[in-house]
Amino acid sequence: MPERTVVIGSRTGLHARPAKLFVQAAAAQDVPVRIRVGGGRAVPATSMLAVLTLGAGHGAEVVLEAEGPGAEAALDSLAALLARDLDAEEASDA
* Gap between the Cα atoms of 45 and 26, Å rounded: 6
**CATH number of 70's domain:** 3.30.1340.10
What angle, rounded to 10 degrees, do the helices at 86-93 and 16-27 form?
A: 100
Total domains present in the chain: 1
Catalytic member of 15, 23, 51, 66: 15
- 42-51 pLDDT, tens digit per residue, is 999 999 999 9
The structure's pTM equals 0.92
Is 58 part of the annotated catalytic residue set? no
Predicted local distance difference test score (pLDDT) of residue 93: 60
Backbone φ and ψ for 39, nearest 5 degrees, come out as -95, 15
Predicted local distance difference test score (pLDDT) of residue 92: 62
Confidence of residue 18 (pLDDT cuts 50, 70, 90): very high
Confidence of residue 1 (pLDDT cuts 50, 70, 90): confident
Distant-in-sequence, close-in-space partners of 94: CB < 8 Å, separation ≥ 6: none
Q: Mean pLDDT over residues 17-35, rounded?
A: 97
Q: Look up the domain containing 48 and give its range.
A: 3-93
Nearest to 87 by CA among 38, 36, 16: 16
